[in-house]
Structure 1
Amino acid sequence: MSSDWISISKKVQYKENTNVLEVKSGNYTYSFRSEQVPFKKIVMLNASLIGYISELDAENLIVGVSSPEYIYSEKIQNLIKEGKIQYVGNEQKYDVEKIISLKPDAIFTNHVASFDNTYELLRNNGIQVIFLDEYLEQKPLEKTGYIKLFGKLLGKDKEAEAKYHEIEKNYNSLKQLAAKSSVKPIVLANEMYGDIWYLPGGKTSLANYISDANAHYILKDNNDEKAVTMSFEEVFAKSSQVQYWVNAGSHTSKKEMENVNQFYNKLEVFKKGKVYGVAHKVKQNANDFYESGVVRCDLVLQDYIKIFHPELLTDKQFTYMSELK
């Protein structure tokens, strides 16, 4: 066994020795003995991590989930209906007794500081709590790379490696395809909440997608890995040349957007350009863009290329995006 750390991203690495699998995730380190992994029973506390489980066909390992209304996967919804997956609370409060009674080998969750006492309680009952903050990853393929760690922990190494390489190959060939276009449209993203517009910083995953899709994002020179806040006036001043507006929430029409904010119709792109939301795969509160889209960066990139360079992908349908009329 190799004793070197294998790096998925700056935030996540793992290392295998003869009988121990070590994992580093953010500020946390875990050490699993060979008799502890692969896990047979897991609890998922975040819909955004579920995409990895689905991609590995490992849904049958899940014994509990929180906030099932945010889970898009039909397979998981059916397992919940059949009582094979239990409801263990929501982001306000987890049902600790229920979780303990399910005797999971591990819980996967994003780290939420206000739940530290709950995590401690679960650990004291011999349950592994594994923090994976995939939403902090800004390079699409590194976010996809978490599937390799899930493969190690769930005994699906080969499937995970194969999936990752397939997605990586698709992503890179799509990126090369986009680069062939001599047109580089100007792009605006996200929407307003109240009177503040939250634009993705220039180093966020959305900015990376737009760049890989060979388009020019209006904040591409910004260095933030998080959202940048602007007033409508600031965005208005920057967006006179914008041709495409993407990730305009999960609205279904321009009319609906205008009802939320009448300022939008002052923007040239709203009047004359094209506006796209991420509502193509939505069931009530669940949006597959935030579930399978976390893993399938190739399909997300394909959608952006189809928006900015439709002539390059005439044979493809949208997976997550839809145009607002």
Structure 2
Amino acid sequence: MKPFPAKNPRYTRRPTWVLRLLAAALTLALLAAACGDSSGDDAATTTAAGQEAATTTAPTTTESPAATTTEPVTTQAPAAPTENLTRGCVEDYAEGVDYFPQKLSVDDAERLDVTYADNYKVVEVSDANFEEAAFTYVLVQCGTPAPELSGDLAGATVVEVPIDSAVVMSTTMLPGLSEIDRLDVVKGLDSFDYVSTPAVLDLIDSGELVATGSLSFGFDAEAMAAAEPDVAFTFLFGPAADELAPLEGLDIPAAVSADYRENTPLGRAEWMKFPALFLNEEAAITELYEGIAADYDALVQTAAGADTRPTVLLDKATDGVWNVAGGDSYAATFISDAGGDYIFSDVPGNSGEQLDIETVLERASDADFWLNPGFGVTSLLDLEAADPRHGKFAAFERGDVWNNDLRVNANFGNDYFETGAAHPELVLGDLVAILHPDLAPDHEFVFYRRLQ
């Protein structure tokens, strides 16, 4: 064999005995490594640079049992509801959850407003009587915390919703509650005499309701207390402090409606949403109201297509004085929407003014139609008996006088002010048929009849 070059620094020859000694040492090292602890205590470790470090056999130790680790318990947040809770309370409240996924908006009523937080809603009522009384209600989802009553909420009335029971002291609320099938909460009325809603009459006949009397007169505190209402729905004519005192004495919250203060038919009808807010029935009442509004708007469009706009006179004289409704009044709006021209549309405001009958004759003797001569006028003879000068109007002579008393009960309760308030599309249908019979030749009248 050819020897390695003697001067190559990488390949220097060593004596044979040295090589043998190195081989024996390597063998011992390998045996020692093989006999080491198999648990890995003496295994080679890797340095930060990734190179293997030398290992040594660790001294024998007594191993302790492995430590027991407990997996952290995570509480799953309640799922956000997809519908409002219309009965019962929240059982597992979680902050940040929207408990009113079904909301409503107020589009036509000018004296009602609602805003939503996650677990409560703020309902504001304005201009509820001649004092322009205003009320704020904080409707808190039952089973959730009430907000702090400070700032804009200071002095607000807090009511847990959905309510379970109520006394209803305004018949205008009954049709809406009936049609969303929530008469189950009604435990009493102020009076049974003037009710027209069939399902409510059934409850009266079966003895399921109590009569509490009006807050203004004949109030029966015992009957109200026996009804145990969560809230009493009412309205105001006089001073709020005086009229609401009987309820305050019983610690019963008063929910005050201002529906009769609205000047437009749809504005007044939209107040059906007011009691529904206390029931969390936003979805049902919105569906009902949107159908009413759509039908009303369709009739307005039909009437707008008429070839003529007949002139219309309202009301009658009493003791020679005529209460003339203003051009912005509820009745005047109906006439305009039905395609008519109200003779006194230039009278400002809602409440109007008083004129003597001779002044009215000068302006309205040739009116095409005469509507709403009022309570107790069941015939042309009644109208003439009230004042012979009524007979001088052309509409009287032609027999074009119509009253809205087709549905009056034995106690003179007029459904025009109950179902008619909730369903202005039915009223408007009658008026279009009166003013433009060619647009509705097969119309069946609901509230109006021609005086004979």
CA distance in 2, matches of 1:286, 1:39: 28
Which residue number in structure 2 is paired with residue 258 of structure 1?
384
Offset of residue 5 of structure 1: 9.8
1:25 and 2:25 aligned = no
**Residue 166 of structure 1, aligned match among 291, 295, 299:** 291
Given that 1:151 and 1:158 are in contact with CA atoms closer than 8 Å, whether structure 2 keeps it comes out as no
Q: C-alpha displacement at 1:192, in angstroms?
A: 2.3
User: More displaced, 40-49 or 292-301?
Assistant: 40-49
8 Å contact kept, 1:96–1:118? no
Specify the code of the residue in structure 1 equivalent to 2:115. Answer: K
Query: What are the Cα deviations for residues 258-285 of structure 1, in whole angstroms up to 9, with x where unaligned?
Result: 2222221122221125000011111121
Q: If each structure's helix is expressed as a fraction of its own residues, which one has the higher value?
A: 1
Tell me what 1:13 maps to: 113
Equivalent position to 1:281, from 392, 407, 413: 407
Q: Compute the displacement of 1:39 (Å).
A: 1.7
| 1:310 corresponds to 2:437 | yes
Instruction: Measure the CA separation in 2 of the matches of 1:121 and 1:186.
Output: 47
**Would the alpha carbon gap of residues 121 and 189 (structure 1) be closer, same or farther in structure 2, given more than 3 Å must change?**
closer
Q: Is 1:97 matched with 2:204?
A: no
Match of 2:190 among 52, 57, 66: 66
The share of aligned pairs that are identical, in percent, is: 25
Change in CA separation of 1:122 and 1:54 when aligned onto 2, cut-off 3 Å: same
What is the one-letter code of the residue matched to 2:202?
Answer: N
For residue 54 of structure 1, what is the aligned residue in structure 2? 178
In structure 2, relative to structure 1, the CA distance for the partners of 1:121 and 1:248 (3 Å cut) is closer
One-letter amino acid of the structure 1 residue matched with residue 379 of structure 2: S
Q: Tell me the equivalent position of 2:273.
A: 148
Give the deviation of 1:140 after TM superposition. Answer: 1.3
Q: Distance in 1 between matches of 2:105 and 2:286?
A: 13
CA shift, 1:199, in A, is: 2.0
TM-align CA RMSD = 2.1
Deviation at 1:188, TM superposition (A): 0.1
CA distance in 1, matches of 2:206, 2:324: 41
| Paired residue secondary structure (1:39) | coil
Query: Which letter does structure 2 place at the counterpart of 1:33?
Result: V
Offset of 1:54 from its aligned partner?
3.0
Q: Determine if contact 2:369/2:401 at 8 Å carries over to the other structure.
A: yes
SS of 1:131's partner is: strand
* Residues 1:294 and 2:421 aligned together: yes
Conserved 8 A contact 1:55-1:292 = no
TM-score (norm 2): 0.68
Maintained 8 Å contact 1:148/1:160 = yes
> 3-state DSSP class of the match of 2:161?
coil
Query: Which SS does the other structure have where 1:286 is aligned?
Result: coil
Question: 1:226, CA displacement in angstroms?
Answer: 1.2
The AA in structure 1 aligned to 2:210 is: Q
> Structure 2 unaligned runs (5+)?
1-97, 127-133, 143-159
Contact 2:320 2:387 (8 Å CA) reproduced? no
User: Contact between 2:322 and 2:356, CA under 8 Å: does it hold in 1?
Assistant: yes
Assess if the C-alpha contact under 8 Å between 1:148 and 1:157 holds in 2.
yes
**Structure 1 residues 115 and 96 mapped into 2: Cα distance closer, same or farther (>3 Å)?**
farther
CA pair 54-197 structure 1, distance change in 2 beyond 3 A: farther
For residue 121 of structure 1, report the CA deviation from its aligned partner.
4.2
Counterpart code for 1:282: V
* 1:44 and 2:168 correspond: yes
- In 2, Cα distance between equivalents of 1:39 and 1:192: 46
CA contact (8 A) 2:311 2:343 kept: yes
1:113 lines up with 2:238 in the alignment: yes
Distance (whole Å) between structure 1 residues aligned to residue 264 and residue 445 of structure 2: 22
Deviates more, 1:16-25 or 1:111-120: 111-120
| CA 5–289 in structure 1, closer or farther in 2 if over 3 Å, else same | closer
CA distance in 2, matches of 1:43, 1:116: 19
Q: Which has the higher contact order (CA 8 A, sep 6+)?
A: 1
Once residues 96 and 169 of structure 1 are traced to their aligned partners in structure 2, the CA distance between those partners, rounded to angstroms, is 42
Contact 1:198–1:228 (Cα < 8 Å) also in 2: yes
- Residue 398 (structure 2) aligns with: 272
